């Protein structure tokens, strides 16, 4: 079996891929939107577009095995790979690799504010270099047939949120980018930690709404601070798509309402317990591959948030999932600590 086949046949091989629809997506989040989280998310929503963690061009081109950075299961479709980098040639090569591996979209990170990525000319600092982003997008689009998209901010540091954002969007759109997912908060590259930048400065949703109004031919998505499906629907009156980050991870049951509320179809999960049971075969396979139980189940700790027994569920997995030899019995015992109710409405 080839490396690519190994990477993409873990679950539901032969499953027909859903059409790519960005109306609702889960944001790329380092150490959170791993392949295990994404597979779990599919027990809750079939429709949402899922993003990988940001993967740097260096990791793909020089890391080994490549499956460590690109591996996923077929059930995760539709799935987008987010790339971090700025060299057009390297990004084009990585985009081509992503297409070969079967990703549905490749996205360029122009939003991460951390010092580590800044030093490598990755992330939000590229907002100050629209010509570099344009060159990268042009090279990537020439290398692949799948969509090439950009996730950016409304600006960085002392940039003018109107003039500089318009200039950035215009230049990158001229290079062929038709889809922008905009985090509605400036990134401060100096003086604030990435954690502080999650809340400072304040979100500016109207700026993203105005961008959509001024560039109706572009797909403009919005990201940042959105926590409920009602908020998502409100945003969709002004923009083309909504991307949810931390809330989709910390309160994953939110995703169980996405298919019905956003797409008008029934989702896969009748209850939290049903989702947990549906994920059980995947956990078993990962354990057979040598994964530790807690590395997989850490993504489920918020599943029973606010429910009777939810704390006991989290505590049992946290205290026992890391132990040598921890197996499905630990998972089953944790689930038994949460009273099972009749299926209730989602989200």
Annotated binding site for FMN: 28-30, 82, 151, 183, 223-225, 245-246
The residue behind tokens 């029934």 is 266
Tokens for 215?
A: 């560039």
Name the active-site residue from 112, 125, 152, 232.
112
Radius of gyration over every alpha carbon of the chain, rounded to an integer in angstroms: 20
Nearest CA to 321 among 301, 338, 303, 342?
301
Q: Is the peptide bond before 66 cis (omega within 30 degrees of 0)?
A: no
Q: Give the phi and the psi of residue 70 in degrees, each rounded to 5.
A: -115, -10
Residue 316 near residue 334 (C-beta atoms within 8 A) = yes
Kindly tell me the burial class for residue 271, based on how many C-beta atoms sit within 10 Å of its own C-beta (0-12, 13-18, 19 or more). Answer: middle
DSSP 44: T
Packing angle, helices 310-320 and 328-336, rounded to 10: 160
Nearest CA to 173 among 121, 215, 111, 128?
215
Q: Is 327 a catalytic residue?
A: no
Measured in residues, the chain has a length of 347
Tokens for 309?
A: 């027994």
| Active-site residue set | 112
């Amino acid at each position: 079996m080839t490396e690519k086949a190994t990477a993409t046949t873990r679950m539901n091989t032969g499953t027909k891929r859903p059409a790519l629809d960005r109306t609702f997506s889960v944001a790329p989040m380092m150490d959170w939107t791993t392949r295990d989280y994404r597979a779990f998310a599919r027990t809750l929503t079939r429709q949402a577009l899922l993003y990988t963690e940001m993967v740097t061009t260096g990791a793909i081109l020089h890391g080994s095995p490549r499956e460590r950075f690109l591996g996923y299961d077929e059930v995760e479709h539709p799935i987008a790979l987010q790339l971090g980098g700025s060299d057009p040639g390297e990004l084009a090569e990585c985009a081509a690799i992503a297409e070969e591996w079967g990703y549905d979209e490749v996205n360029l990170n122009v939003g991460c504010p951390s010092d580590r990525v800044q030093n490598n000319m990755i992330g939000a600092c590229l907002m100050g270099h629209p010509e570099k982003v344009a060159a990268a997008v042009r090279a990537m689009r020439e290398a692949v047939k799948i969509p090439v998209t950009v996730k950016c901010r409304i600006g960085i540091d002392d940039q003018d949120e109107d003039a500089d954002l318009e200039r950035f969007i215009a230049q990158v759109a001229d290079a062929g980018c038709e889809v922008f997912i905009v985090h509605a908060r400036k990134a401060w590259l100096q003086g604030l930690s990435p954690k502080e930048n999650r809340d400072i400065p304040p979100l500016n949703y109207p700026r993203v709404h105005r961008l959509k109004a001024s560039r109706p031919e572009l797909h403009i998505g919005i990201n940042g601070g959105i926590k409920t499906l009602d908020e998502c629907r409100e945003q969709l009156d002004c923009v083309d798509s909504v991307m949810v980050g931390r809330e989709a991870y910390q309160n994953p049951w939110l995703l169980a309402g996405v298919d019905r509320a956003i797409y008008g179809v029934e989702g896969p999960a009748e209850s939290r317990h049903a989702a947990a049971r549906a994920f059980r075969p995947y956990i078993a396979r990962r354990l057979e591959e040598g994964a530790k139980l807690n590395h997989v189940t850490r993504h489920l700790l918020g599943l029973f948030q606010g429910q009777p027994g939810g704390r006991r569920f989290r505590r049992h997995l946290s205290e026992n999932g890391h132990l040598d030899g921890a197996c499905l019995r630990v998972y089953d015992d944790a689930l038994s600590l949460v009273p099972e109710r009749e299926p209730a409405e989602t989200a």
